[in-house]
Structure 1
Amino acid sequence: MYNMKSSTSSEMTSVSGSARKLRKKPLLLKLTNASQLPQNTNCLACSDDGRYLCLGHAGGLSVWCATTLNQDAQWLQERLEITCIHMTTTGDTFYLLASIDDMGVARVFMFNLECIYPFSVINSLEDINKRNVCFNFEISEGGDYGAASMRCNTDIWLDIYYFPVDDWMRELKDPKLSANMKWSPAPRVNKIMPSAATMTDFSNMLTHCLVLEDTNEPPRHCTYHFLLKCGHSHGQNKPKSAGCPITVCFWWNGSYNLLYHMLSKTTKSKQGPEPQPSVLWPNAAEIVCSAISRCTRFIALGLSNTLVCVWDRLAGAPLSVCTLSTDSAFLRLQFADYCLACTDITQTLTTGEIHLVVVCKSGAVYIMNTKRGEATRSAQLSQRPKDSGDVLAVTASVAFLRGLSLLVHRNGKMFLQDVVNGATVCALIPPTNHLLATHCTPVYALNVKQHILYMQGVQESTLCSSSIRDERPSQLLVLRFDEHDVTKPYVVSPPQSPRLQAISITGEEACNDYLHERALSMEERHKSITQTWKRLQETGAYVKNC
């Protein structure tokens, strides 16, 4: 729907003022060597409440106390290596774990105090020739749902599972049931094939607006996001729990369309037709990357024509459409946590300023600042690096540090950057004679509650003594941000989990808020239109004189 670069209201600006701090030598914060890690530690995850750290490694997984770094529990199995792990809090003493091993098998575990219980194998290997391989598996915050990207030979699809966490916690408390290890099943409530993105039957008017997807290659990847309730209440209907996601949005590589599926707790009949998306948002170019805000109200899409669209789910319309002046395709998007966080804006159409970091494949980084009723402003934070080692491997928003992001380069250099103002706050360095274990794909986790960074490191001496990764011991490196003066001014208390924020307004209230907001922004919109016409006249005069 957005294919005219001249229609965007964005203005490309240069980083100045505070950006000059980038030229100064930043302060150094040194990580400390905290503990020896298990052999072949491939992944780390921290619980939502900051109490536990989960490690995936050769032979299984372990759960450590996040403060003392002592091991509280482990689950081991021979000839198995966990390569991906997720962890979420489901109760006061219960935590749900989701993992993928080196054979593409996805599993679900429940951790309760000192034990890890295996609850479900998502894709068991019954026939090695027809086995389903999972290459991405995530659980929603709170553990109500899970989504797994699956592949079998040339076929690819997205499985949605409902996890009966309340039943599982009740069964764990029952000694008879826990002794028999007979848990309630985790039903697959949806199997979504790529064909659902192109074969949807919509009304004639909407069909004329859709961009037909005519690609020669089949989709190879699916990107998805769990979305919390963000809409209007109707009549006397009782709203669903704000703590449980109600929708999953997703897109297939090569697709122009962002699709939505309503989440269910019941299994769909196998004899029924293939489930169709409940909502479809078309675009004029292929989607190459996406991101959601912490409150899940805002969805950012990066398109192949260097266009960025930020959708406001509550308003049901784009908040911003901006074209970046770059000659490189987008690699990833990231919402920057800022002081507005996601508190009041989830219940009103009035939004604070949204900050979006855009990373290009060339290594260049941009920041977009947008607010309803105002022109989108964009600035270049860093240019295309001359050395491949300076390309960013990690850009992660640090929720407890206002406006700061963690940047890790492929050469192992680490920085905390104020992405809003374009200033480097400090550089992070490993302990003496230590390096990051894997520069291109660093293994790390952020403890939002305790303000701690965990990162996998390795001693330089072991790199010289052995070239085999399996024989190379690694260490857990730790940085506690509260202990350093340079980061103390940025420390904020993250807002209450968006899972616990009720979002329920009537359609009439939403309409009134929107009209009120339009009236307040009239002067700013008129100014923007005047500036646009002035630039067009200047451009026309320049072309005429040439």
Structure 2
Amino acid sequence: MKKGKPDTDMEAACKAEESRVEALSLSRAAELPESTNCLTCSEDGRYLGLGHSQGLSVWFTSSLTCAADWLEDRLEITSIQMTSMAETAYLLGTIDDMGVARVFAYHCDTIHLLSVVNIMDDINKRSVCLTFELSHGGQYAAATISCNGAVWLEVHHFPSETWVKELEMVVSQTQEPISSGDLGVKWSPLSVATKIKPPKITAGTTLEGPHAVQVTDFLTYFSDLDVDTRSHQEKEQSFDTNAEKRKQTNESTGYCTQHFLLPCAQFPGDRTARSQRAGLPVAVCVWWMGGRNLLQYLLKKAPKNEPDVEPMPDMLWPNAKKILCSAVSRCTRYIALGLDNALVSVWDRQYGSQLSVVSMSAPDCAISRIHFADHWHVSTDEVRLLLVCKSGAIHRVTTGRGTKCCTTLLTERPKDSGGLPTTSASVPFLQSTFLVVQRNGKMFLQDVVNKTTVRCLIPPETHLIATPCSPVYALNTKRQTLFIRGDQDSSYSATPKEDDGQSHLLVFHFGESDILKQFIVSPPDSPQQEETQSFVSLEQTCNLYLQQRALSVDERNTALAQTWKQLQETAAETQQSCS
């Protein structure tokens, strides 16, 4: 029996924050495999993927029982993703503790190993996969590879349709489920669509002196200027005794960040979208750590006659300050960048220009994470962002073309390090709600419109949220369920039979709570798609651009009038303050 004890710190924090806020309890559902490091959920909500020591498993979300597993001794999966490849076939992308990325397929209650991304044939040229991201639909994957001090981004193209046929053929050849390792099937190989390296200064380019602007094009100039700026920063930091420590901290977060992009209307960079199925990415945007430029590359296969030619970016968006973090809207039309000096830049891919630049006037507003709250905004030219600062403060930003930016402080800087938010994620099926997990294990739902804490979520009294600095969780949008790993509370006094020390899967069903039913909405099944036109020539592209400009003249005049009005009001306020 459990001895009487005071409320846990988590419950006390919830009560102290707001006495009217009730705490909702998570339920202990199932025992997890040993060292479960990561969770993921399929888009249709039917399956849960688990990465753990000795391999990975796929569970039914309805019964929380194991559907299939793939096990290998002395192998520990540390990262896992899952996406639908066909109606009954799913792709899983994983990274293990040795930095090896693998691609699996789950089909007919069996997990098949399709490919190893970074095979290490030569131990002296050991490559390590730092990040591995699958695109929606399983057509592409982006892997950040490090080898002997060099780092690059590989975008792989998957033969998804061929894999589905091969999986169906395997099922037709056997009546009983057999481990994929015993089948000896030779799966179709994946191919490298694009290999992107960090930009380097082009030979013969002059960045200083009277001939600084005499370069071949602005794309080359801004790329070289970005590299030159980073080299100056490194030289300045070399005189700082703490520079090496900061450099190691920065490098541990990754060398580049990438996002897959869907078709977005008119620009020539998206003209290849006519050959793509709806909902599949056509480009990838990349920014490198310490850089200021956001680069876009089309997803196209490298030419067979020149496979080693370095691809040039199709679009370049320069920024005034160093990029710290990024996010892409659900429709991928907007790209938000958190910059140094507390700046936020939002780029509009449809118009190829900045939607707005926001300067955060709040003190200690060094941006660490940025999110789009685009599951519930209604205006196509208005975006709402959530900014998480290094200090722990959380801000909401509403901005748009020709409108005045509005910034609101949602959560103040915590008094101690335990209150720092380690995870913040949009809950698509709850209106204007984010899930926040703090370093002390406190977990709550934040209403980002009304600036209120909706409810606190607490584990059962026998468990604590595992690794709150990096919680192992997954949100099931279809079933409106939260899955999160919980570890046994060492202070809980239990019988030896109950105190097994094993981690458990904690579950919370949002739809079963009467308190949260008022917040539940139906999120869109797929990202909003922009109409994509086919382009044959530059003349047709220009004609379409001019037509769209003519159709939007009233909207642009209204935005211009609003901007002019804001300038006049700002000038009047400045004049009054000076007088």
TM-score calculated relative to the size of structure 2: 0.82
Give the corresponding residue for 1:300: 336
| CA deviation vs aligned residue, 1:109-138 (integer Å, no higher than 9, x gap) | 011120001000001122223210001001
Q: Which has the higher contact order (CA 8 A, sep 6+)?
A: 1
Partner SS for 2:199: helix
Structure 2: segments with no counterpart, 5+ residues: 1-15, 174-179, 206-214, 235-246, 495-499, 534-543
Give the corresponding residue for 1:537: 575
| CA deviation vs aligned residue, 1:285-337 (integer Å, no higher than 9, x gap) | 11111000111111001111211011111121111110001324210100113
Query: Does the CA-based 8 Å contact 1:257-1:282 persist in structure 2?
Result: yes
Structure 2 CA distance for partners of 1:245 and 1:197, relative to 1, 3 Å: farther
Quick check: 1:528 aligned with 2:566? yes
Over aligned residue pairs, what C-alpha RMSD do you find? Answer: 2.7
Whichever residue aligns with residue 501 of structure 1, its letter is Q
Q: Tell me how far 1:192 sits from its aligned partner.
A: 1.1
Query: Does the CA-based 8 Å contact 1:190-1:268 persist in structure 2?
Result: no
Give the corresponding residue for 2:118: 123
Give the corresponding residue for 2:196: 192
Partner SS for 1:174: helix
Select the residue among 57, 66, 85 that pairs with 2:61: 66
Query: Does the CA-based 8 Å contact 2:200-2:227 persist in structure 1?
Result: no
Distance 1:233 1:275 in 2: 19
Matches within 5 A, 1:119-268: 119-175=114-170, 179-195=183-199, 203-204=216-217, 211-214=225-228, 215-216=230-231, 217=234, 221-232=255-266, 238=274, 240-265=276-301
Give the corresponding residue for 2:109: 114
Distance 1:237 1:29 in 2: 46
- Give me the identity figure in percent: 46
Q: Tell me how far 1:357 sits from its aligned partner.
A: 0.6
Q: For this pair of structures, how many residues does the alignment match?
A: 507
Partner SS for 1:149: strand
Partner SS for 2:321: coil
Partner SS for 1:395: strand
Structure 2 CA distance for partners of 1:462 and 1:113, relative to 1, 3 Å: farther
Q: Tell me how far 1:523 sits from its aligned partner.
A: 4.5
Query: Does the CA-based 8 Å contact 1:224-1:250 persist in structure 2?
Result: yes
Quick check: 1:31 aligned with 2:68? no
Q: Tell me how far 1:164 sits from its aligned partner.
A: 0.7
Distance 2:576 2:17 in 1: 34
Quick check: 1:381 aligned with 2:410? yes
Higher deviation after alignment, 522-531 or 173-182: 173-182
Give the corresponding residue for 1:420: 449
Query: Does the CA-based 8 Å contact 1:196-1:276 persist in structure 2?
Result: no
Give the corresponding residue for 2:80: 85
Partner SS for 2:490: helix
Give the corresponding residue for 1:4: none
Structure 2 CA distance for partners of 1:289 and 1:237, relative to 1, 3 Å: closer
Give the corresponding residue for 2:557: 519
Whichever residue aligns with residue 529 of structure 2, its letter is Q
TM-score calculated relative to the size of structure 1: 0.87
Q: Rg bigger for which structure?
A: 2
Give the corresponding residue for 1:507: 545
Quick check: 1:442 aligned with 2:471? yes
Structure 2 CA distance for partners of 1:39 and 1:268, relative to 1, 3 Å: farther
Structure 1: segments with no counterpart, 5+ residues: 1-20, 342-349, 466-470, 542-546
Distance 1:24 1:517 in 2: 47
Give the corresponding residue for 2:384: 355
Structure 2 CA distance for partners of 1:236 and 1:358, relative to 1, 3 Å: closer
Distance 2:565 2:141 in 1: 47
Whichever residue aligns with residue 35 of structure 2, its letter is N
Give the corresponding residue for 1:12: none
Select the residue among 295, 308, 329 that pairs with 2:366: 329
Q: Tell me how far 1:476 sits from its aligned partner.
A: 0.2
Query: Does the CA-based 8 Å contact 2:132-2:142 persist in structure 1?
Result: yes
Higher deviation after alignment, 162-171 or 486-495: 486-495
Q: Tell me how far 1:370 sits from its aligned partner.
A: 1.3
Runs of 4+ with >6 A deviation: 197-202, 233-237, 462-465
Distance 2:510 2:23 in 1: 12
Query: Does the CA-based 8 Å contact 2:286-2:295 persist in structure 1?
Result: yes
| CA deviation vs aligned residue, 1:37-76 (integer Å, no higher than 9, x gap) | 0000000000011110000000000000011101101000
